[in-house]
Amino acid sequence: MAAIAPPHPAGSSRRARRAPRRFPVATVPAVVLAAIALGALGVLAVWWQGTGSVIGAAGWLTGAGRITGLLAGYAAPVLLLLMARIPALEREVGADRLARWHAFGGRYLVSLVTVHVLTIVWGYALTDGRGPLAEGVDIVFHQPEMIKASLGTLLFLGTGAVSARAARRRMPYELWYYLHLATYLAVALAFGHQIATGADLGDGPARLAWYALYLGTAAALGWYRLAVPWLRDRRHRLRVVEVRPEAPGVVSVFLTGRRLTELRAEPGQFFRLQFQAPGLRWAANPYSLSAPPHPDFLRFTVKDLGSHSAAVAALRPGTPVRAEGPYGAFTARLHRQPRVPLLGAGVGITPLRALFETLPGDVTLVQRARRPEDLLFTAELAAVAARRGGRVHALTGSRAEVGDLREALRRLVPDLAGHEVYLCGPEPMAEEAVRALRAAGVRSDRIHRESFAL
């Protein structure tokens, strides 16, 4: 099969038109958060309605156990819905923001489960006049659905431990991905306990709403995480057509298939790819488009950051690929200001490479790297800049050599405070860049950030 030609900016003017805007940038995220908060208030109302007078320490502890149990039971399916790949949420809120919400809520869920277990056992122990350990053993082995609930609790706590930032940084993405799947089993195990022992739910609307929340979540996960990828796989038949070295440890993977325009991918978005090859077929890793979508191919650029991404470099043409996506709101939909710097580092340059070619307005791309040989797409970016009238800057060297990032960016992008910034790169770099941009006077709502910590 002939090699794919390099992406060419000619003929891309139709893609450069701004995507239609439906809502202001912050509207949909605010509505989603408000809906989640209203649901939590509804849970508190259920608890309040079912709570009589509280007497003594045992009553307070048991009451605390009931309310934290209800809130944990509500939070679990909500967190799963955030990561269910629902197109409207992925498009309008963005996978990056959803992942941050999911991680933030996960920490609260683990805390709620922990407090629920401790206060319920302690409150029951005071009521029955025995020690917490004996009471805990009695609850687990003599109350309905408690053995399964205990297993679910252990899975929740274990998943929370491996998801902590310190542990996550030391763990390959693939291992974290597999361990995180235990959350689904934990929620399923805990559901029976909630129905069997959740006296606050009663037999009326609250119980029906609880069933609707859990069954609706299961349906959304089944459809968007399983059925839709399978149907798209059957329709588009994606496969690897070429693997092209770009830099040391970096390759571009070109995929071809049928009816690629029907995917409706936009520059700046990403897919979760499952390469059907040994060692790769069981994990769906996120990879950004590194060129605007083409009717004949899609290009992804992958850096060797783990066993999965390293194995991608050895893929052979013809390897089938299952793709979930496109996902992400890091697109022209966010664009509001005429002057836009794109700031990227490492493989974080990939979505910015696609946006640089297609984003309307006065666009400047700044690529941060420790060494000149680590810069990606140098020739491509220069060609795109010449055709569209944009500018490309390289910011190379160590932190000491670059100096104050705010001043470095001000030198490259005059009047930085009046610009709208797209930012993508490793977490430490992105956090430093956000601080530098805010110190330079860029408003927080004009900093659009894509994270690879998904």
Query: Can you give the pLDDT at residue 12?
Result: 42
pLDDT at position 306 is 64
What is the percent of the chain with per-residue pLDDT over 90, rounded to a whole number? 34
Mean pLDDT comparison of 169-183, 220-234, 306-320, highest-scoring range: 220-234
Q: How many CA atoms lie within 13 A of 8 on its CB side?
A: 6
Q: Greater confidence, 208 or 49?
A: 208
pLDDT digits (tens, 9 = 90+) for 85-113: 888 888 788 777 888 898 889 889 889 98
d(CA 240, CA 256): 7
Sheet with strand 447-450: strands edge to edge: 391-396, 362-369, 339-345, 421-424, 447-450
The larger pLDDT score, comparing residue 139 to residue 11, is at 139
* C-beta contacts of 173-181 below 8 A and 24+ residues apart: 173/283, 173/285, 173/305, 173/306, 173/308, 174/283, 174/285, 174/306, 174/307, 174/308, 177/283, 177/284, 177/285, 178/282, 178/283
Dig out the tokens for 17 from the structure. 């038109």
Least confident of 52-66, 243-257, 342-356, 436-450: 52-66
Q: From 409, 252, 443, 429, select the one nearest 341 (Cα to Cα).
A: 409
pLDDT at 452: 56
Q: Is the pLDDT of residue 50 over 90?
A: no
Residue 313 contacts residue 427 (beta carbons within 8 Å): no
Contacts (Cβ under 8 Å, ≥6 apart) of 16: 357, 358, 359, 360
- What pLDDT does 93 receive? 84
Rounded to 5 degrees, φ, ψ at 404 are -65, 120
Task: Kindly tell me if the per-residue pLDDT of 2 is higher than 50.
Answer: no
Note the pLDDT of residue 215.
93
**Joined tokens for residue 416:** 């930085």
> Alpha-carbon distance 79 to 113, whole Å?
14
Average confidence score pLDDT of the chain: 84
Q: How confident is the model at residue 355 (pLDDT cuts 50, 70, 90)?
A: very high
Beta-carbon contacts of 391 under 8 Å, excluding residues fewer than 6 positions away, are 363, 364, 365, 385
Place of tokens 């709403």: 209
- Cα–Cα distance for residue pair 169/64, rounded to 1 Å: 34
pLDDT at residue 90, as a whole number: 82
Residue 286's SS3 state is strand
Q: Where are the alpha helices (DSSP H) in 181-333?
A: 182-197, 205-221, 228-236, 307-312
Residue 297's pLDDT is: 95
Whole-angstrom Cα distance, residue 46 to residue 200?
7
Confidence category of residue 7, pLDDT binned at 50, 70, 90: low
Could you tell me the end-to-end alpha-carbon distance of the chain, in angstroms, rounded to an integer? 34
Residue 26 binned pLDDT confidence (cut-offs 50, 70, 90): low
pLDDT tens digits along 135-184 = 888 888 887 778 888 888 888 787 777 766 666 666 666 667 677 777 88
Categorize the per-residue pLDDT at 453 as very low, low, confident or very high, splitting at 50, 70 and 90: low
Say what the pLDDT of residue 21 is.
46
What is this structure's pTM?
Answer: 0.75
Q: Which residue has the higher pLDDT, 202 or 110?
A: 110
Q: Tell me the β-bridge partners of 369.
A: 396
Mean pLDDT confidence for 60-79: 90
pLDDT value, residue 94: 79
Where is pLDDT greater, at 99 or 17?
99
- What one-character-per-residue DSSP string does 382-451 give? HHHHHHHT-EEEEEES-HHHH--HHHHHHHHSTTGGGS-EEEES-HHHHHHHHHHHHHTT--GGGEEEE-
pLDDT value for 169:
65
Per-residue confidence at 295, pLDDT binned at 50, 70, 90?
very high
Residue with tokens 């542990």: 167
Q: How confident is the model at residue 37 (pLDDT cuts 50, 70, 90)?
A: very high
Burial 158-175 (b: 16+ CB within 10 A, else e): ebbeebeeeeeeeeebbe
Reply yes or no on whether the pLDDT at 33 is more than 60: yes
Is pLDDT above 50 for 200?
yes
Is 401 or 180 the better-scoring residue by pLDDT? 401
Q: What is the per-residue pLDDT for 20?
A: 43
